A and B are shown apart, each in its own frame.
Chain A
Amino acid sequence: MNETTVEKFRVAAQMIGAEVHSCGSGLGTANATGRHFSTSNELSFFLQELAAGRSICASTLPEELQAHLSGLVVSDLSTAADATLCISFADAGIAATGSILVQLTDPAERAATALATKHAVFLRTSSIVPTLRDLSASLKAQLLGAGPTYFSITTGPSRTADIERVLTIGVHGPKELHILLLEGE
């Protein structure tokens, strides 16, 4: 994954109101709003800060991430309606629009990512592609596969301009979207 695609992703996502942070050593932090976390403690502390003392729910995360977040008290997804922060993992990123692809076939995960006030999503930089069309082969395979499926391409926080066309953030979905970039495969 080349740096430019990651950089484009970062710029596009921030432009649309998401906050982009990086975890790991090699990633630059050349942006105003994003944070950089080099240790598990820093990351856990940040997430706790986001939750502001209220409950955190999380979907099933890859094992090495779970290890990183072992210091965090996390409840299961069914508590989502009361949770301030929902933590999940994205399958892919789209550089052109700063979007993330999240698998939501599990209704509990779907509800959690839509109900929580803040949504923090881990995204591997290696899974960022230039445009939506670069995902079309895998999306098509998923749609044509057996059984039901549900996925979302999320671009920034929930927004509306339905009153006097004034852009307002956070109408039904999360008011904040934090994308946590993970270096490597």
Chain B
Amino acid sequence: MADKRINTNINNTFLRKALKNFATAYPIARAKAFEGIDFAALRHRIAVSKLAGLQRLPELIAQFTASAEKSGAIVHFCRTPEDANRTIHAIIQSKNADFLVKSKAMTSEEIELNHYLEARGVRCLETDLGEWIIQLAGERPSHMVMPAIHKNKEEVAELFSAEIGQECPAEIPFLVEAARNALRRGFLSGQVGMSGANVAMADSGAMAILTNEGNARLVTTLPKTHIALIGVEKIVPSLDEALDIIDVLPKNATGQKLTSYLSFIKGPTVGDDRELHIVLLDNGRTDLAANPDFQAALQCVKCGACANVCPIYEIVGGHVFGHIYVGGIGLVLTPFFHGFDKAEEILKLCIGCRKCNEVCAAEIDIEGLIVDLRDKIRKPFGQKFMFGTMMKNRKLFHTALRAAYLAQKPFQSACGRIRHLPLILNRETANRSLPPIAEIPFRDLILKRKVLPAPAKAEKVLFYSGCLADFVYPEMCSDTVESLEKLGYSVAFPQEQSCCGIPARYSGEMDVAREMAKLNIDVLLKEEADFVVTICPTCTMSITHDFVKLLADDPLYAERSKRLAAKTLNYSELAARKIPPSPPLSKGGETAKQVVTYHDACHLKRGCGVFEEPRQVLRELANAEIQEMSDCDKCCGFGGSYSIKYPEISQEVLKNKLANINETGVGILAVDCPGCKLQIEGGLEASGSKVRVEHTATLVRERME
């Protein structure tokens, strides 16, 4: 089912173009909106104040309720969507009304209010243009801020023509004017108005609403009864905290400095029996706020930026990448608001590139929460054996990888690469060839290698290669060892090292991941060494971040994991310590600089915060001149097993990357990740490109000859 929807959306040309245009325009508009503003400081303040608020949410709710009631509002606390629907229906009935005019509220989508009311004879009219379009189409929003981004003007014209009863041309200004006139009648005849709120303030009982169209002002003004449906996590202590959210919201959502209208409403305004009903929606929020593992999800201010930058959202859109709330945070909130059964499929769709974390207005580790939630969903058949039995047993796992070398032989082409894989593995791999598993893995090669006498006082480095480099790219490992030795390090390869456990963790097998972490910690701390170096950013991130998190409560390993994390570096960080190299690397004087373009691996840039060092190393140690490509830090679509689970999506993400590489016209792509190399090299090879893809370590080693 999910696969079918994925393919339908991948093949939806308009949707793809709309999302791609937006993905291109958004970062530029956003950067301009944030000019002169310290985004990091702003979002940190929001994160701190939101978290503090969540930790005393019941108190904030009580304070807000008292303040709002003092101002004359009637406050209803609703624990479930059913409560909220029933309460709202009762208010409408008490006014003898059968027509509700609405401005945009995600909470209303969350409780499926329109459906509930219309089944009971109450007509609902969405007045936000995008919401009206999807209401007419009978769909749900595909973006929190731009609900109808998936609809083109021809489809809108068709919907409007049918609704208004007059032929509407597919011209945007005409359509907007038609909506103005049609909805104006709704505003003037609506008996009850409904809005959401972007933020609510406990000390005053006021709420703030941001809109561009001006419909919220009409909805909260023309009908004498105003119902505001507000998620309880929107309550902040005072205007001070609210202003930070108001500051960040439009900039992060659409790249606007401020929306056209920012309205503050406190109490029912005077005269002619006006009423303000505030319906506070819980729907799992107070429980989530009290859950230390996942409470950060409620720091969300609903800006939608996580969708705006997501490479997967860009390919499949919000109807696939989310349930009612879409984008990265939608994946996280869905199990808590709508149940784990609704979240099972979508939680797997995240590729783990962490781009969302970089822009999140509330500093939420969205990707981390998604990975942690996978632990709570049902695991596919066979996964327990794969991770629980095989990967935990290093010898069994490595024996299986060696056996795979023989099994793949029939599929190799003349050049040694694999164009077609057997069985399910060959699904959608036509756009990417795969490198074969090496005949002799690096762990065997190194045993035969002559160990050079290390210089006195050389810093000792333990090399943790990662499985992919060990078994597929042994030469990349050799280049690492050789270049580091040349730079003056003494390098050793502990044979008992095994998989870092990331595949298990990403598949929600936390216990296995914990065991793998312990095993590797023991191996890497057994020998005295100054540093541990990895050439796979996912392994680096795993050791420096995930091991510590997984073992934080372990009496013995909490300290060990921190000790190991402190001395673990990625190759480029370790190499950069020796700039300028002494003695100089190249023997034969200055040679011409080679031009390279650089792809930032997701887990190196956003998992480890490393992006300067690789460029320094390329310039200073590999004699390279870097010509940057567009979106150099955007995911290549590999994501480990993701490219096998969702080959269709992975291929589309890859296409964007290949286009950016080709646009530079450069002959060498430098990467610091064997996974990115596998993905991009395969894509380039399949498309007939001659661009070489090399790990930075290889380019440094080549320079030494």
Q: Does chain A have a CB within 8 A of B419?
A: no
Q: Does chain A have a CB within 8 A of B213?
A: yes
The interface stretch among B269-277, B360-368, B515-523 is B269-277
Q: How far, in angstroms, from A104 to B214 measured CA to CA in the complex?
A: 14
The interface stretch among B48-56, B145-153, B380-388, B625-633 is B145-153
Q: Does chain A have a CB within 8 A of B700?
A: no
Q: Does chain B have a CB within 8 A of A162?
A: yes
Question: Contact at A164–B18, with CB atoms within 8 Å?
Answer: yes
The interface stretch among B238-246, B392-400, B425-433, B549-557 is B238-246
Within 8 A of A (CB), among B180-210: 180, 183-184, 187-188, 201, 203-204, 206
Q: Does chain A have a CB within 8 A of B21?
A: yes
**Shortest beta-carbon distance, B29 to chain A, in Å?**
11
Question: Contact at A152–B213, with CB atoms within 8 Å?
Answer: no
Question: Contact at B213–A160, with CB atoms within 8 Å?
Answer: yes
Question: Contact at A148–B258, with CB atoms within 8 Å?
Answer: no
A163 with B151, Cβ < 8 A, contacts A132-B246, A172-B127, A172-B213 known: yes
Within 8 A of B (CB), among A101-154: 104-107, 110-111, 113-115, 132-133, 136, 139-140, 143-144, 147-154
B259 cross-chain contacts in A, Cβ below 8 A? 155
A106 cross-chain contacts in B, Cβ below 8 A? 269
Interface size class of B (residues with CB under 8 A): 35 or more
Question: Contact at B147–A162, with CB atoms within 8 Å?
Answer: yes
**Shortest beta-carbon distance, A115 to chain B, in Å?**
7
- Return the contact of B206 from the options A107, A114, A143 (Cβ within 8 A): A143
**Shortest beta-carbon distance, A50 to chain B, in Å?**
18
Question: Contact at A153–B258, with CB atoms within 8 Å?
Answer: yes
Q: Does chain B have a CB within 8 A of A74?
A: no
The interface stretch among B168-176, B407-415, B540-548, B586-594 is B168-176
Q: Chain B contact residues: over half helix, strand or loop, or mixed?
A: mixed
A147 with B206, Cβ < 8 A, contacts A158-B260, A170-B180 known: no
A61 cross-chain contacts in B, Cβ below 8 A? none
Question: Contact at A150–B180, with CB atoms within 8 Å?
Answer: no
**Shortest beta-carbon distance, B39 to chain A, in Å?**
16
Q: How far, in angstroms, from A172 to B187 measured CA to CA in the complex?
A: 10
Q: Does chain A have a CB within 8 A of B257?
A: yes
Q: Does chain B have a CB within 8 A of A93?
A: no
Question: Contact at A164–B153, with CB atoms within 8 Å?
Answer: yes
B72 cross-chain contacts in A, Cβ below 8 A? 147-148
**Shortest beta-carbon distance, A160 to chain B, in Å?**
5
- Return the contact of B173 from the options A81, A97, A168 (Cβ within 8 A): A168
Q: How far, in angstroms, from A155 to B177 measured CA to CA in the complex?
A: 21
Interface size class of A (residues with CB under 8 A): 35 or more
Question: Contact at A97–B258, with CB atoms within 8 Å?
Answer: yes
Q: How far, in angstroms, from A107 to B269 measured CA to CA in the complex?
A: 7
**Shortest beta-carbon distance, A39 to chain B, in Å?**
32
A171 with B268, Cβ < 8 A, contacts A154-B260, A161-B254, A163-B133 known: no
A147 cross-chain contacts in B, Cβ below 8 A? 71-72, 267, 270
Question: Contact at B221–A173, with CB atoms within 8 Å?
Answer: no
Question: Contact at A163–B148, with CB atoms within 8 Å?
Answer: yes
Question: Contact at A110–B221, with CB atoms within 8 Å?
Answer: yes
**Shortest beta-carbon distance, B151 to chain A, in Å?**
7
- Return the contact of B218 from the options A115, A157, A168 (Cβ within 8 A): A115
Identify the closest chain B residue to A140 (Cβ).
Answer: B239
- Map CB proximity to A onto B556-583 as digits: 1 under 8 Å, 0 otherwise: 0000000000000000000000000000
Q: How far, in angstroms, from A161 to B266 measured CA to CA in the complex?
A: 29
A143 cross-chain contacts in B, Cβ below 8 A? 201, 203-204, 206, 239, 264, 266
Q: Does chain A have a CB within 8 A of B179?
A: yes
**Shortest beta-carbon distance, A9 to chain B, in Å?**
13
**Shortest beta-carbon distance, B439 to chain A, in Å?**
53
**Shortest beta-carbon distance, B216 to chain A, in Å?**
9
Question: Contact at B269–A151, with CB atoms within 8 Å?
Answer: no
Identify the closest chain A residue to B183 (Cβ).
Answer: A172
Within 8 A of B (CB), among A163-185: 163-166, 168, 170-174
Q: Does chain A have a CB within 8 A of B137?
A: no
A132 with B243, Cβ < 8 A, contacts A170-B180, A171-B176, A171-B180 known: yes
B342 cross-chain contacts in A, Cβ below 8 A? none
B183 cross-chain contacts in A, Cβ below 8 A? 172
Identify the closest chain A residue to B22 (Cβ).
Answer: A165
A161 cross-chain contacts in B, Cβ below 8 A? 146, 212, 254
Identify the closest chain A residue to B177 (Cβ).
Answer: A170
Question: Contact at B156–A136, with CB atoms within 8 Å?
Answer: no
Q: Does chain A have a CB within 8 A of B492?
A: no
B residues near A, CB below 8 A? Answer: 18, 21-22, 25, 71-72, 127-130, 133, 146-149, 151-153, 156, 172-173, 175-177, 179-180, 183-184, 187-188, 201, 203-204, 206, 212-215, 217-218, 220-222, 238-240, 243, 246-247, 254, 257-272, 274, 276
Q: Which 9 A-B pairs have the closest CB atoms?
A: A173-B214, A148-B267, A162-B130, A143-B204, A162-B129, A158-B214, A153-B262, A172-B214, A114-B217
